[in-house]
Amino acid sequence: MASDYTDVLQKLCHHLKQFCEPDAQITPQTDLIHQLAIDSVKLLNLVMEIEDEFDISVPLNALADVQTVHELANLIHQIKSAQQ
């Protein structure tokens, strides 16, 4: 399970790089809005890409609780695990 989460986190960071400044430092604790300037429109576009990558649908309701990269990775991991 841990390796699944790590895989999700790696892939998420790869997608995130396309939505923020080239020199942005991305760690699990990085705040999406305040540190990476991912606004609501960018977040929805990012989520669409992630959904395709993992063949999942992320409910909008669940995104309200997401602030950090770790929280988003954890959400994706949980949805993917529930689907399997």
Among 61, 65, 82, 84, binds other proteins (CB under 8 A): 61
Q: Does 41 bind other proteins (CB under 8 A)?
A: yes
Half-sphere exposure for 44 (CA within 13 Å, toward CB): 4
CA 50 to chain centroid: 7
- In the list 13, 56, 67, 71, the residue contacting other proteins (rule: CB under 8 A) is 56
Contacting range for other proteins; rule: CB under 8 A; set: 5-13, 19-27, 29-37, 42-50 = 42-50
d(CA 26, CA 2): 19
Interaction of residue 48 with other proteins, rule CB under 8 A: yes
**Displacement of CA 35 from its chain's centroid (Å):** 14
> Which residues are CB-contacts of 7 (< 8 A; sequence separation ≥ 6)?
none
# of chain residues touching other proteins (CB under 8 A):
15
Task: Name the residues that contact other proteins, by CB under 8 A.
Answer: 39-42, 44-45, 48, 55-61, 83
